[in-house]
A and B are shown apart, each in its own frame.
Chain A
């Protein structure tokens, strides 16, 4: 298989270079843009030579935007805080609900177990607005509209199926004999779960949690429908940002960079588990 011609190697190299350019260019370009003022952004032709400035980030972080027309308040840091809060709390709740259920589905065949597991899985594929639009009306009635609790609950639609199906796979990989031996030694069911099953499935649970965090962070439509400005995460906040008057292009770019940086960092950290997570446990990387 090693007899590749020089021409083929050059073509392969060229193809890979093209691919990397296409997929990396937008991220690099936006990062570059976030360090520029409007004057350098609006130059034609565009150039990558410029004096970098941190003013866009300073404006976002302090929330004060100085412009010719006066000072403008921007609440982007609040969006960022909302994203952190919503994603963290949703994943925590999904772990508390999902891990025991995953264990039950992996270890016990009981009546309706597969039905429940598949119903939960089907949430992943149902159109989100199907549930969200009636929920928007219900939430008005029961006072959950525009609350963190309401949002965290709805976020379970993304986090719970993911955690349940990935963690279930990890529990299934653990031989039941280990747990059986521990039970025979006279330990309770709960001790077995806590001391044997949980630590053995630990890496899988952590990976599922990280992935669920990424997907919760990247979600857009839930908060768009159910939250108003003060509870919105970055995905929705950034969109409002684009249409707001007086915002400079560099600041939009900086907001995008701040919004995608956490998930990209987590993805690089957890890349070993991504294949398994993205396929909900069907393909191993």
Chain B
């Protein structure tokens, strides 16, 4: 099957063939190991009392950072904000993305053109996208602030008000990432076999029934892969929130990574920051193992068709 199984014509090949795959992947492997070192260090830091401003007081305190976190309302605020953000963005993007994919399902020239146009927000750097929206929501000249005042909210302050800050960053996230879900679901929709749909049309099955009983179940692997992918990114969102408000106003948008960043660079509390990251890592590890299972199934299917 594989090239390794091919009987080498000469002896010198046989030695080479054993070591070859290792030699080929060695550089990537080395990079891999080099990254695992900081990961180990992060665990070590998380078990230490370690502030950059007080290097003399550095010592092991084992689980104290974690215990402190679990009894700190600020930590639970971080958990709550991160989960709310992830649930809102993924939920809304999934509904919107699925809707748009269904609208654009037919391969017409207009639909293809629109689906390509929708790629542009996705290819905009999230940090820059946040800046674009920041300009548009500026209280002095922002076009969206003006629109809000037209609609009867003369003092709508978007990201600078604690009441609407979450809404604003979620909106930016939706603008950037809805096309991601849309494009994967569109590819999924267009790859579905046509026979069940033709049969349903012949039998005069109502369209809502077709959607719930045929389209949705057949699309499930794509929906799972796309939304888990987004969930993994969304729960770690940093770029959009940091570029928009740096976690503010107050503690309204202090999600995991922003909180860890500020703990590290502003309060220089390395131990607490590392503990936060390890907790976030544990969450993403569980999610990513579920994701990879689904992703592999889809990947095998795509490769099988080739």
Contact = CB atoms under 8 A, between A and B. Distances in A.
Nearest to B172: A26
B109 interface: no
B277 interface: yes
Interface in A173-189: 173, 176, 179-180, 183-184, 186, 189
A56 interface: no
B67 interface: no
Given A116-B29, A259-B128, A169 B299 contact: yes
B156 interface: no
B284 A126 contact: yes
Interface residues of B, number: 106
Contact of B39 (A26, A131, A179): A131
A58 interface: no
B53 interface: no
B20 interface: yes
A71 interface: no
A198 interface: no
A160 to B, nearest CB: 6
Interface in B153-180: 175, 178-180
Contacts of A279: 184, 225-226, 229, 295, 298
Given A23-B117, A133-B42, A179-B3, A101 B123 contact: no
Main secondary structure of the interface of A (DSSP, over half): helix
A153 B37 CA distance: 14
Residue with the greatest number of chain B CB neighbours at <10 A, chosen from A22, A23, A110: A23
A208 interface: no
Interface in A129-179: 129-138, 153, 156-157, 160, 164, 169, 172-173, 176, 179
B211 interface: no
B302 A271 contact: no
A27 B141 contact: no
A30 B243 contact: no
B206 interface: no
14 contacts: A16-B104, A26-B121, A98-B28, A108-B4, A122-B288, A125-B288, A133-B274, A134-B274, A176-B1, A176-B3, A220-B243, A266-B123, A280-B295, A284-B305
